[in-house]
Structure 1
């Protein structure tokens, strides 16, 4: 996701930076303005559940679409064709999972993941489990995003070396803390809506210009993409992302499972569902979100095809082997270069969309992590529910600062490491540790405390084991420890193994573990949902 200077920062001058700073300043002002009245717990966590389906859908779209989706998906379509398009489809299918649980989840009427589980299985253990999963999902994801966007800002300023990148990470982290701590859910929602509008504006412009280059002839675009990729007919066949052997096929299946089961079940997306006015409103907002994401993914596919046809795979790979600069390179070509007013405007729009995307996503993740710490761990486990509302609001804001500082320190510390796998790991944990426990909690009256803990901690442990023993950590040139080799399998994502394990352990723990009176009494949550 790193944007190199070759992607256009040196060529287009300071216009993108100026526009980006204006967007950030305006967004920060509006976020703080709407957050001035955020003095209630419900305001901080869920915007007092006053968001309409339309606004919530726009904000949810902003929550869901990360810079990884925007940049990597375009690059994958440009470089591997079929498999990149299939991943775009998986991005949409993941929202079908959220659509299944949106209405019953909102009816439980809790703020956090731990609170939802505690409503089903009373006791501190459920809240602690929710807090652990929330932190394990959010912190690595934020670290990966901060590390990437910090490097990108340094390159945009034409500053090279680790020092400027680390300073950029710290500054962006400070903005993230301000958005989450003072804006709360209202402020973060406003940023997500601004981000969604910017992203859609940029992608619509890209799509129209790509189609115009080919006289709105889809067949000509497809033919040009196949030739530009260098794959020709193989561009439209599976097997471009991984080798066509058994390990490659298993990797592709595992990636699909991870995305579909986990991409929409991250803590900040679940908090977004709880911001709806009611259960039916939550379901309606999720439907609208699906429509918006379908439109976005379609535009990503067109942009990827345009990048393959107009930029060419050699140029894309030359800038970034992962293809993450393809969208920016395409914007530069479509606009007519740095001497063209259209070129500067288009490139500026795309750059602004990329940066506000990252900032919005990390702000939402930080708020979700802080809410879990303050509401579940501090207010209910440590203080046993005896915290006043004002004290909890203060605790949430300090928790935002804590999470923000920790993630910034980690992002600075791992600068220069290849940590892109952390995003996939976070989604894998959501798929294996969050989804099984949520589905069982909402729909199975036989689910017990033992089943919850087995599912959550078993799925989490399985994700760690699969990650540590896989090629992301050792045994490959792009591994975290490239000079060592202790990997025992070739799976790059955890879904193929960890998701079935999470479901299986939840069932085994429920049918074999000791049943408590509260397990039987509180199955009303599942019935109501």
Structure 2
């Protein structure tokens, strides 16, 4: 089924897009140019490891809160959630709730103690009271795997978005777009480091909030600012009737889907506190007070955005045909841009083309900023944890460390391009939920045990990290996400035996259990003095930097 057969998509098909495409390309070009200028400016101020990894710890609480928002509100938030709500109604909105509630876990459990305890990476915290080399190796591997899972979603979103705008329908064209985003990402991180990435994230957060507010106001204006009228029209237009606004359209039809929902909820709520690219943001502020303030700002900004996803998702369901959304992208990732086009005046109007281009440029900004943050987290962990402390045994210079991080950026970017090309037709919110599950399994149990359990040992840390990582990734590989269904990564293969789409319900409790079991069975004694020092440091920040 081609886009040419759907009126809502006419300007994006080969014939109708010609008159609007120069405008779209110009807007995209201006944004990319502006962000490159910011990155080069910040890169000139990046002189050492502290600048590259933590932006010199010079950002205020508000600036960091804005940057955290920019890092967190990813393609999954803007494109994936809008699409999930447009196709599945109430069940799609559960993603918004999960992503928002997760911030309370991050704020209450890890934000301040983590910022006080480490220097640049999660490995710094874990290695403080454990054996350095094995724990840093495990932390580095875990960080890179989680980041690559998250990168998959962003790359998939980029491929879908730019393909939609440029009318590209061929698989080769979509792969080329994913590669282009990957190259931009590598340039941003290797030149700008944390300073460049942070400024791009702040600009992107402002653009995304303004864009979402504009769409929300236009949708509500269409329905006389009456939410009941909006929801009623969405239910009628969805073809699902009242069930569109009730639980069960995606989850709850069977015992299996109910378990899948519990698994998704666990992953979303616990995953944020273990995401490497969010954790390293806490190191960019000068004090613990600023860390708390930045999370408070982030909660306010993120909360406002997720409230607006009601208008984005249900607005798309009310104003667009379900068949048009699915024809453009089977997973619904283009619902928000198509809604913008409709609100601007429709497929054949200049207003529709302008609003489509603006909102798509905002979405593209979203993807670039998050991709830069993820790549920085994984390359930092490789350079700081693996290269400096494991391979070079702490004898590398700062210049060598930053050079290793830049080379790691290139390699991780290449891996993300390859995997992103395979995942281009999958819902980005679902892909991000997988990253959350891996983060909650591999990272969160070890972080919590290390910060709050005096007896925790190196063996417990290794069992928890590797056990959580292997179980989460292994279950994903043999789940319907990868094979066995029309929506799978490999559509023509069928080797899945794990029935759930999210592994969190198994892998998260297993990681906590393994951390406890490894510690209890370990013969190595925990060092109470080291724990006491870490406790003081985590509460006060004394001696951390």
Instruction: Give the alignment's TM-score, normalised by structure 2.
Output: 0.91
Q: Do 2:332 and 2:427's aligned partners in 1 also have CA atoms closer than 8 Å?
A: no
Aligned to 2:449: 440
Verify the 8 A CA contact 1:443 1:527 in the aligned structure 2.
no
For the 8 Å contact 2:434–2:502, the answer to whether it is kept is yes
In the alignment, does 2:67 pair up with 1:65? no
Choose which of 36, 39, 42 in structure 2 pairs with 1:31: 39
Residue range with higher mean Cα deviation, 482-491 or 285-294: 482-491
Task: Determine the C-alpha separation between the residues in 1 that align with 2:237 and 2:427.
Answer: 30
Q: Does 1:427 align with 2:430?
A: no
Deviation at 1:222, TM superposition (A): 1.9
d(CA) in 1 for partners of 2:63 and 2:313? 29
- The answer to whether the 8 Å contact 1:121/1:449 transfers is yes
Instruction: Give the equivalent residue in structure 2 for 1:81.
Output: 89
Shift of 1:388: 1.7
Contact 1:39 1:393 in 2 (8 A): no
Distance 1:297 1:422 in 2: 18
What does residue 282 of structure 1 align with?
291
Give 1:40's aligned residue.
48
Distance 1:382 1:521 in 2: 25
Moved more, 341-350 or 418-427: 418-427
CA-CA distance at 1:379 after TM superposition: 1.0
Corresponding position: 1:98 with 2:106: yes
**How many angstroms does 1:197 deviate by?**
1.2
Report whether the alignment pairs 1:6 with 2:9: yes
Which of residues 246, 250, 257 is equivalent to 1:241? 250
- 3-state SS of 1:263 partner: helix
Task: Give the match for residue 458 of structure 1.
Answer: 467
Which segment is superposed worse, 488-497 or 466-475? Answer: 466-475
TM superposition shift of 1:524? 2.7
2:319, 2:427 → 1: CA distance?
Answer: 30
User: 450-459 or 509-518: which moved more?
Assistant: 509-518
- How far the C-alpha of 1:407 sits from its partner, in A, is 2.8
Change (3 A) 1:342 1:62: same
Give a deviation string over 1:5-46, Cα, whole Å, max 9, x none.
938534443322210110111111111112202011100001
Provide Cα deviations, 1:389-432, integer angstroms capped at 9, x if missing partner.
222222222222232233334445x3777596654332211010
- Equivalent of residue 370 in structure 1, options 379, 396, 406: 379
2:345 pairs with one of 336, 342, 355:
336
1:401 maps to what in 2?
A: 410
Paired with 2:238 and 2:412, the residues of 1 have a C-alpha distance of 42
Compared with structure 1, are the counterparts of its residues 416 and 313 closer, same or farther at alpha carbon in structure 2 (3 Å cutoff)? Answer: closer
Q: How does 1:18-417 map to 2 (within 5 A)?
A: 18-100=26-108, 101-242=110-251, 244-337=253-346, 340-411=349-420, 414=422
The alpha-carbon distance between structure 1 residues 409 and 316, as it changes in their structure 2 partners (threshold 3 A), is: closer
Aligned-partner Cα distance in 1 for 2:426–2:244? 27
Alpha-carbon deviation of 1:512? 2.1
Unaligned runs of 5+ residues in structure 2 are: 539-545
- Aligned match of 1:507: 516
SS at match of 1:300: helix
Contact 2:70-2:369 at 8 Å conserved across structures: yes
Q: Is the CA contact 1:307–1:330 (under 8 Å) kept in the aligned structure 2? A: yes
Aligned residue pairs total: 526
Cα distance in 1 for residues equivalent to 2:175 and 2:473: 28
- TM-score, length basis structure 1: 0.94
Matched position secondary structure for 1:120: coil
In structure 1, distance between residues paired with 2:415 and 2:53: 21
Q: Which moved more, 1:146-155 or 1:13-22?
A: 146-155
Distance 1:492 1:519 in 2: 41
DSSP 3-state at the match of 1:14: helix
Alpha-carbon separation, structure 2, partners of 1:487 and 1:27: 42
CA positional deviation for 1:287: 1.4
How far apart are residue 194 of structure 1 and its match?
1.2
| Contact map agreement 1:445 1:526 (CA 8 A) in 2 | no
Q: Is the 8 A contact 1:7 1:329 kept in 2?
A: no
Contact 2:443–2:465, Cα closer than 8 Å, also in 1: yes
Separation (CA, whole Å) in 1 of partners of 2:237 and 2:163: 31
Task: Report runs of 4+ in structure 1 exceeding 6 Å deviation.
Answer: none
1:122–1:518 Cα contact (<8 Å) kept = no
Gaps spanning 5+ residues in structure 1: where? none
Q: 1:322 to 1:406 in 2, by over 3 A?
A: closer
- The 2-side partners of 1:259 and 1:391 are apart by 37
Higher alpha-carbon deviation: 179-188 or 336-345: 336-345
RMSD of the alignment, in Å?
2.3
